[in-house]
Structure 1
Amino acid sequence: MTIKSFAATLSAAALLSGAAFADGHANPQVGGADMMMEMNIVENASNSPIHTTLVAAVVEAGLVDTLAGDGPFTVFAPTDDAFAALPEGTVAALLEPENRDRLVEILTCHVVGAEVFSDAIGGMIADDGGAHPVETLGGCTLTAEMNGDMITLTDEQGQVATVTIPDVDQSNGVIHVIDTVMLPAA
């Protein structure tokens, strides 16, 4: 499936799933902080006390303007604990200017160029027999599956992330908080 066809599928599904938010459902808190639907992805992530590493990485990678732009985007947002679980020294090395291309590659492996809520992802997983490929803007393909009532994502290195806080609605997309940093193939 191409990025365009995946984005079209997500956009159609998102139109259906977004109705729940139009009906007045409140956005979930992230790390105890309110997430405002009228704020963009960067503004809300900056307010999250559990996404300080992600925000620093987005700034260093030069992706602030992109992720604050019109979108729509779906961001699978790893927490500070997810970054801390990487091998020692990895985050510091990625934040060095000479590693900017690798940092951009990793960060954009967490971004889809469409807005899709968890019920739509679940539907695509069911429609595809239990596993749905998710093509990211970084060129990675994540595999979305269900583990009970939780969505999991498997990266190209076989690491599995769980969506711990789904459906954080943004003015330019949606964030799903995850517990593991997704990495492209080695």
Structure 2
Amino acid sequence: MKKLILNGLAVVMAIGAYATPTGVENQPPKNGKVELQDTPTIVGVASGNDDFSTLVAAVKAADLVETLSSDGPFTVFAPTNSAFGALPDGTVETLLKPENKQKLTSILTYHVVSGKVMAADVVKAIKDNNGKYMVDTVQGNKLTFSLDGQNVVLTDAKGGTATVAMADVDASNGVIHAIDSVVMP
């Protein structure tokens, strides 16, 4: 629990660092007005948090940086480094090889849903659908959402599960929900 709280603080601090309007005085005025920096994209937010370094490396290896930096909006269920670390030995290293780019892309896009879906929306959808809510991922397969107490649980196509460890991390092009396991299509 302590680690989860510390990770949460790290995400908030990373967001705060990106959202702080530093260097505004050096920006040229647009239409006579000085504009503050925008909130970073999903990739920017993830890059600003050390607990997502494996995810960021995978996004880069799959050439998804530009896509996940585009307008979106996207909802990303982002596995933490410890989630990737729980995979069998050698899995991450194998997936990061250029010859496995297609498989890596499939796994990563399975963690992405079109639109900005906040935690309250997910919980409401679960409750409105008799305790389970299925959603199409960008990859094409479905994820099933349910509740375990107050925790949102994702169940993948193979029956594996992940729990949302932190919800509603805002980005300029969507939202990130940190999860404790990697889901597989």
Same fold (TM over 0.5): yes
Q: Which position in structure 2 is the counterpart of 1:34?
A: 14
Letter in 2 for 1:99: N
Question: Aligned to 1:66, what secondary structure does the other structure show?
Answer: helix
Distance 1:90 1:145 in 2: 27
User: What is the aligned length?
Assistant: 157
The 10-residue stretch of structure 1 (113-122 or 31-40) with the greater mean CA deviation from structure 2: 31-40
Distance 2:179 2:106 in 1: 18
Q: Which position in structure 1 is the counterpart of 2:154?
A: 153
The 10-residue stretch of structure 1 (31-40 or 158-167) with the greater mean CA deviation from structure 2: 31-40
Shift of 1:33: 3.6
After superposing on structure 2, the runs of 4+ consecutive aligned residues of structure 1 that deviate more than 4 Å are none
Higher relative contact order (CA 8 A, sep 6+): 1
Matching of residue 84 in structure 1 with residue 64 in structure 2: no
Q: Which position in structure 1 is the counterpart of 2:54?
A: 53
Distance 1:163 1:90 in 2: 22
Deviations 1:71-123 (A, max 9, x none): 00000000000001011110000000000000000000000111010000001
Q: Which position in structure 2 is the counterpart of 1:65?
A: 66
Distance 2:104 2:58 in 1: 7
Q: Which position in structure 1 is the counterpart of 2:134?
A: 133
After TM superposition, the score normalised by the length of structure 1 is: 0.81
Structure 1: stretches of 5+ with no match in the other structure: 1-27
Q: Does structure 2 retain, via aligned residues, the 8 Å contact 1:109–1:139? A: yes
Q: Does structure 2 retain, via aligned residues, the 8 Å contact 1:94–1:102? A: yes
Letter in 1 for 2:113: V
Question: Aligned to 1:87, what secondary structure does the other structure show?
Answer: coil
Identity percentage of aligned residues: 48
Structure 2: stretches of 5+ with no match in the other structure: 1-7, 20-38
Letter in 2 for 1:55: V
Cα RMSD of the aligned pairs, angstroms, is: 1.3
Q: Which position in structure 2 is the counterpart of 1:165?
A: 166
Letter in 2 for 1:121: V
Shift of 1:162: 0.5
**Bigger Rg, which one:** 2
Q: Does structure 2 retain, via aligned residues, the 8 Å contact 1:52–1:80? A: yes
After TM superposition, the score normalised by the length of structure 2 is: 0.82
The 10-residue stretch of structure 1 (35-44 or 138-147) with the greater mean CA deviation from structure 2: 35-44
Q: Which position in structure 2 is the counterpart of 1:182?
A: 183
